[in-house]
Amino acid sequence: MKLYGEDVWNYIYFLTKNSDQADDLTQEVFIKCYYRIGTYRGLSSLKTWLFTIARNTVFSYRKSRFFRSGLWGGMQPLPAEAQHQEEAAGQAVVARSAEMEYLGNRQVDEIWSMIMKLPDKLREVLVLDLKAELSVREIAELIRISPGTVKSRLHRARHKIQDKLRRME
């Protein structure tokens, strides 16, 4: 941890863009490494092995019930293949505390409040993308605009929300 702790934290922060998540996930990476050091075969450098575990830990977290339920306020189903892989890996499910539930719901409400303040054209494509999970082509057909226009509106909407979130931090 002394050698690579800061590098792993920086990599996870780059992936999550959240220092609290980076702290928690870095700790989880080193716990995994402690228990799995016997599986290290030396085919790559130790740092590369740690980064692989870090990347997989971040993506597993993103697929987790906590992340999916907290990000946009509803559960997003995992593909059956991903669920099977998690069961096979024996990953434990972590329950959220009441405090985390409250803070997560509050953050979700704030994000949706920002989305609802976007101009109609931007809000529409963003909601169709996030909540309805429609593809760019499906959104374009639905609101009768070109796919390129959908992409540019999505980009502008996401950029505006990200700017507002940065200002809040």
Domain segments of the chain: what residues?
Answer: 5-89, 98-168
What one-letter code names the amino acid at 76?
Q
Query: Which of the residue ranges 5-14, 78-87, 134-143 would you say has the lowest mean pLDDT?
Result: 78-87
d(CA 54, CA 156): 31
| Intrachain domains 5-89 and 98-168 with the same fold | no
pLDDT tens-digit series, residues 19-64: 898 999 999 999 999 999 988 888 777 887 888 788 889 888 877 6
DSSP-derived 3-state class of residue 87: helix
- Mean pLDDT, to the nearest integer, of 134-149? 83
- Does an H or E element contain 22, and which? helix 19-36
For the domain covering 98-168, report its CATH number.
1.10.10.10
State whether CATH 1.10.1060.10 applies to domain 5-89: no
* The pLDDT of residue 67 is above 50: yes
* The pLDDT of residue 149 is above 50: yes
